[in-house]
Chains A and B, each alone.
Chain A
Amino acid sequence: MISRLVRMQLRSRLHELVLSGGTMLVLLVLFVYVMWTLAVRLAPASDGRVDLLVLSAGVSSVLLAVAVFRRHAREKRTRLLAELPVSTLQVSVASWYVRLLGLWIPVLAYAVVLARVADLRFATLVSVVLATYLGATTLVAAMSVALTIPHLPLRLSAWVRGIYLAAVLVAVVIWVVWSAFVFVPAAEVVEVAGMGARGVAGVGAPGLVASLLVSAVGLVLLDVWLRGRADDYLG
């Protein structure tokens, strides 16, 4: 059943993207073009990578978030799937499968641009791609959890939800800043953020990737678990 759900969702989303995703596609092309131009212009100067990294990670995340959480479409899809003879867990797993697959597209596009213009070693590039992917997954999962919370039988007050959303935003900012600290030479970090940043940068790329892996997997599992307990069917 999960494979049927995945096939159905992939076909539908691809079809949707081709037919009505024109605006999204234009934005994506524009984004890649701007990134490319920026990258080429800044390529000789090594400190341009910081801007490149932060900007691309940030814009990618926002674009992804918008794409994944178009609320109306999500609600329609949810109601459609809810009427099929499948379990909540099957739909949740299938939905995440599709999301995780879809997240690779902008991340890999970003990696191609980065590989072309930035003077990063292969190992670093792999780390950047992994960190971006896991970071985007963390963000999407955190937003999904935030959207699921109001549907739980336990009613949470508005300020509790606000605190959660604020925590998610702070986590994203920390992630972006940390990424910058990790993937640029220490001297630039000191220039940018002062001596205190050395401690953060000292963890290195493996540390960042590992922590993002934990947060991404943790939040995805939390989201699946919460959806199983939501008041409405949220597969």
Chain B
Amino acid sequence: MLEITNLCKRYDRFALGPIDLRLEPGTVHGLIGPNGAGKTTLFRLVMGTVRRDQGLITVGGRRAQAASGDWKQRIGYVGDYTPLFEHWSGARNLDAFAAFYDSWSDEVAQSLASRLELDLSQTVRAYSTGQRTKLAIVRALAHHPNLLLLDEPASGLDPVARETFLEILFEQMGNEELTVLYATHHVSEIERMVDRLVLIRGGRILAHESVDALVENWRRITFRTNRPIGDVPHQVSGVREGDDHQVTTSSFQSAVWYLESQGVERIETSRLTTEQICVQVLRHGVARRKGHD
């Protein structure tokens, strides 16, 4: 559904890329990264609101280019800021947007607004941040998108609205063609719905792996030995207190085999939560080997 090849964007103090990313139809991806990692820039590049320096973006087989806006027909986008016609009501804003989408459904828009408890008759100028986000969500979903780009969509929503939004999103995922890229700082928010995680830092993608694989492979290993053992394979971080060692590895099986081959006994492994894994990846990287602290 979304294919990004060798995408680069350079600013004075920040550079994104080169980014290569492929999202298959019907999959849900969480985009996780610290502030300033390039998440919003990535979304803007896909939406064409920022010009890329190089690279290729295709959405549903359509190439993203300034000369045509067709590729955005089936994209639903909730950005970090929601530009709207301030003097118009929510309903009038939606009417204006509807004219540009081939597959817009007023019924869907009304239904979503009703579920999100959004008063469409109110002037947008009087909307709170959360209400603006709700309108952006309605706009993003009312034209039956095949690609949903969500840039921290729940950040301005109250707990009830956030829950309703996530319910709506779950329902939308019933559409087998819908691909979602969901950026957030709260892993727990998306943990139960995403297939894969895209971890980004400093404008580069550090990992794009399935949640199951991450949880399976990333382990914290504790063991006791007084012999020097060197770096454990795929060790990401480690702590040593006397003979007690605790290392985090992105491939626990290789690590365990290695430790066993070194004659280490009483090796204990424990799983990490998805959030802990994300923190480890973003803090230390994936393939980075690190000695004992």
Residues of A within 8 A of B (CB): 1, 4, 7-8, 11-12, 15-16, 19-20, 76-77, 79-80, 82-90, 153, 155, 228-233
Which label, helix, strand, loop or mixed, suits the secondary structure of the B interface? loop
Min CB distance B189 to A, Å, is: 23
Contact of A87 among B47, B68, B85, B96 (CB under 8 A): B68
Stretch among B71-79, B162-170, B272-280 lining the A interface: B71-79
Question: In the complex, what residues of A have CB within 8 A of residue B49's CB?
Answer: 79, 82-83, 232-233
Contact of A85 among B12, B83, B100 (CB under 8 A): B100
Whether A232 contacts B50 in the complex (CB less than 8 A), given A20-B87, A83-B77, A90-B69, comes out as: yes
Chain B interface size range: 20 to 34
Contact of A86 among B69, B75, B81 (CB under 8 A): B69
Chain B residue at minimum C-beta to C-beta distance from A7: B99
Residues 85-106 of chain B, each 1 if its beta carbon lies under 8 Å from chain A, else 0: 1111000000011011100000
Check: B48 CB closer than 8 A to any chain A CB. yes
| Cross-chain pairs A/B with CB under 8 angstroms, 21 sampled | A4-B99, A4-B100, A11-B96, A12-B96, A19-B87, A76-B86, A77-B83, A80-B83, A83-B47, A83-B49, A83-B72, A83-B79, A83-B83, A85-B100, A86-B100, A88-B66, A153-B51, A155-B12, A232-B50, A232-B51, A233-B51
B72 touches A84 (CB 8 A): yes
Cα A90 to Cα B79 with chains together (Å)? 22
Which 7 pairs, one residue from A and one from B, show the smallest C-beta to C-beta distance? A80-B83, A85-B72, A86-B69, A79-B83, A82-B49, A85-B69, A233-B49
Cα A77 to Cα B68 with chains together (Å)? 19
Question: In the complex, what residues of B have CB within 8 A of residue A229's CB?
Answer: 51
Question: In the complex, what residues of B have CB within 8 A of residue A16's CB?
Answer: 86-87
Question: In the complex, what residues of B have CB within 8 A of residue A231's CB?
Answer: 50-51
A15 touches B84 (CB 8 A): no
Question: In the complex, what residues of B have CB within 8 A of residue A11's CB?
Answer: 96
CB neighbors of A among B125-171 (8 A) = none
A80 touches B85 (CB 8 A): yes
Which label, helix, strand, loop or mixed, suits the secondary structure of the A interface? helix
B69 touches A87 (CB 8 A): yes
Question: In the complex, what residues of B have CB within 8 A of residue A20's CB?
Answer: 87
B67 touches A89 (CB 8 A): yes
Whether A79 contacts B87 in the complex (CB less than 8 A), given A153-B53, A233-B50, comes out as: no
Q: A8-B96, A233-B50 are in contact. List 13 more A-B contacts (CB 8 A).
A: A7-B99, A12-B88, A12-B96, A15-B87, A20-B87, A82-B47, A85-B72, A87-B66, A87-B68, A87-B69, A230-B51, A232-B50, A233-B49
Cα A3 to Cα B100 with chains together (Å)? 11
Question: In the complex, what residues of A have CB within 8 A of residue B99's CB?
Answer: 4, 7-8
Question: In the complex, what residues of A have CB within 8 A of residue B53's CB?
Answer: 153
Check: B117 CB closer than 8 A to any chain A CB. no
Chain A residue at minimum C-beta to C-beta distance from B81: A79
Residues 41-76 of chain B, each 1 if its beta carbon lies under 8 Å from chain A, else 0: 000000111110100000000000011111111010
A84 touches B51 (CB 8 A): no
Cα A8 to Cα B79 with chains together (Å)? 21
A85 touches B73 (CB 8 A): yes
Chain A residue at minimum C-beta to C-beta distance from B65: A87
Cα A8 to Cα B84 with chains together (Å)? 12
Chain A residue at minimum C-beta to C-beta distance from B73: A85
Question: In the complex, what residues of A have CB within 8 A of residue B79's CB?
Answer: 83
